[in-house]
Each structure stands twice: as structure tokens, then as C-alpha cells.
Amino acid sequence: MSRDDPEPTAEPTDADQLLVLPDELRRELKEPMGPIETDAARLLADVDGPLVAVGDVVTYHFLRAGRPPDVSLVDERTERSAVDEEVRETVTEATTVEVVNPPATISRAVVEALLEGLAEDEPTTIRVEGEEDLAALPAIVATPEGGSVVYGQPGEGMVHVKVTDGNRRDVRALLDRFEGDVDRLWSLLEERASDDE
């Protein structure tokens, strides 16, 4: 499906929008949350456990390296521009689910799709209508200990976050500073954790 195709889904409601990024956190989120790597094969050598890729170019590099991420979140854009056709076709070929996540927000739909993807045995590709960038934050909280969340750092490369209790705590503290229904986010994440036990 291209961006020109009619959208079958309804416009998101306020109930679908869990969190909104406040202006004062924008600069803080530009700092990478882990080491930056430009070579996918080298990065993959340091990956144990589940791999979540946030971004079209990151996902593309992993697919080209022969390691489909366990969960990929793509929006057919990179640095605010459309990705080229080869990248778009490669990363959306195995789209499993489509969700709406407006820019500068974290929607309930993207969190639920992420959690469902992590619970699947097969790789899951989530095509986001809107923007997928902030999904890296709930991904770090939701990915099992020792897993990896990788997202793009504009103009620099791929940021590799190895999931630990410490960086989960840091991200939870960051998400607590967002505007919106933080309690609902924690409730969704805890429901899934209890389902997995």
C-alpha cells in the first residue's frame, strides 16, 4: 500500500493517543541512548536475544545483512523525506500489521502492535501511518532483558540499545515526563508481562 492509496482506517481519537512528546524533552531525545554503529553486520555480532528495529533504513540494513528483526517499525520515511523505492519495497514486503501513530506521539495502537510482535515466533513488520520514531521508547521497556532495540540517528548511523534493567528504568523515567495517559501505557505493558508468565 502506498501513501496515495485510500486509508481504510478511521482517524485516531484522543483515546488512541497515549502520550504526547512535550517540547522540553525534544532536545534530550536527540542524544543517542547507546553506541552508534554504521555497519549492520558488526552491530549484529553484538545482538543476543530479540531484535527490534525502529526505522526504515535500520530495518533495510538488517534485512540486507540476512537478519530480519523480530519486530520492525517502518513509516516509509527517513529524515522527514520518503525513502527510495528499493528501501520501501524491501521493508514493507512482509508487512504484518498497519497502525496509526501521529508525529510526536505514542499511540495505543503502536504499543499494542509492538507487544503482539514481541510475542510472535515469526518476524513482525509494523507499518506506521504517521511517525514511528518514538516507538523506540516503549520498545526498550517491553523488549526482554538482553534483547536489542536499534533506531536511526540522523546523519550518524544506528543506535544500539542493549536492554537492561538500568536503561529500562531510565526510559520509564523519561516516559513519565510525557504528556498524556502514562498510567495506561504502564498498564498495557504490565498486562503483557503478566500474560507472558
Asked if 14 contacts 171 with a C-beta cutoff of 8 angstroms, the reply is: no
Residue 197 annotated as lining a ligand binding site:
no
- The CA-CA-CA angle for residues 116, 93, 56, to 5°, reads 75
- Residues 152 and 192: their CA atoms lie apart, in Å, by 26
**46 has binding-site annotation:** no
7 is in an annotated binding site: no
- Contact between 117 and 124 under an 8 Å Cβ cutoff? The reply is yes
Task: Consult the annotation and say whether 58 binds a ligand.
Answer: yes
- Measuring CA to CA, how many Å separate 26 from each of 23, 59, 134, 138? 5, 24, 11, 16
For residue 71, say whether it is annotated as part of any ligand binding site: no
Q: For residue 45, count CB atoms less than 10 angstroms from its CB and return exposed for 0-12, middle for 13-18, buried for 19 or more.
A: exposed
Binding residues for GTP: 56-58, 75, 132
Binding residues: 56-58, 75, 132
